[in-house]
Amino acid sequence: MRSLKFVVPAILFAILAAFLLRGLSKDPREIPSPLIGRPAPDFTLPQLAQPDQTWTPQSMAGKVWLLNVFASWCVPCLVEHPLLLQMSKQGTLPIVGFNYKDEPRAAGNWLAKHGDPYTVVVADRSGSVALDYGVYGVPETFLVDRSGTIRFKHVGPLTPEVVSAKLMPLVRELSK
C-alpha cells in the first residue's frame, strides 16, 4: 500500500509530461480549422478601392484562389507582403485581399506604399465575415479550390518554406 503512494503520482506525472511534450512539438501556426474540406463561407463585402461595388467569393467559381487576411496596422503582414507581391507577379493564382478591421484610407495608403498584390481587395471593417472564417488574427491565408472548398489555412505570415513545401504543391494538384 505504501508503494502505491509513490507509483500513482509517478504514473500521473509521466502521463502529464507526455501530453506536454507532444504539445511542444507541434507548430503553433498549424491551428486546425474546422473549415478545411468545407465550402468557404459566402459573403458580400464592399471593395476597398470602390466601396460602392461589392464582391463575393462566387465570382471566383471555377478557379483556385487565395484569400489573404491583412490590415495596415498589422506588422507581420508587412513581413509576408514581398512574398505575396512575388506570387502575384508569377500569376499562378488570383490573390484576394481581405482587409480586416481597418480604416479604408489607411489600407489604401498601405497598399499604395508597399505594393498591391491582390486581384481585388474587400473590406470587412466590422470583422463579422472574418468570424465566419474563424480568423484568429492577421495575417491568415486560405486556399480555396475550384468548387469553393477551403483546402488549406495558414495562420501567421506566409514564408517561402510554407509556400514552396505546402501551398504551391497543393495549388498545382488542385489546378489539374
Kindly report the pTM of this predicted structure.
0.83
Q: Which of 140, 160, 139 is closest to 152 using CA atoms?
A: 140
Residues 150/140, Cβ–Cβ less than 8 Å: no
The angle formed by the CA atoms of residues 126, 128 and 133, to the nearest 5 degrees, is 135
Mean of pLDDT values over 78-106 = 97
User: Is 50 part of any domain?
Assistant: yes
- Domain-embedded: residue 12: no
Residue 152 in domain: yes
State the alpha helices, DSSP H only, in 48-176: 75-90, 104-114, 128-132, 160-162, 168-174
Dist. CA 15–CA 115, nearest whole Å: 51
Contact 118, 85 (CB under 8 A): no
Q: What is the pLDDT of residue 33?
A: 72
Rounded to the nearest 10 degrees, how much is the dihedral formed by the CA atoms of 163, 169, 170, 171? 80
| Residue 143 contacts residue 167 (beta carbons within 8 Å) | yes
| Full residue range of the structural domain in which residue 106 is found | 29-174
Q: Report yes or no on 24 lying in a domain.
A: no
For residue 17, pLDDT beyond 80: no
Q: Domain total for the chain?
A: 1
What pLDDT shows up at residue 28? 56
- Return the percentage of the chain with pLDDT > 70, whole number: 84
In a domain, 60, yes or no: yes
- Residue predicted with more confidence, 63 or 23: 63
Q: With a cut of 70, say whether residue 121 has pLDDT above it.
A: yes
Give a yes or no: residue 10 inside a domain.
Answer: no
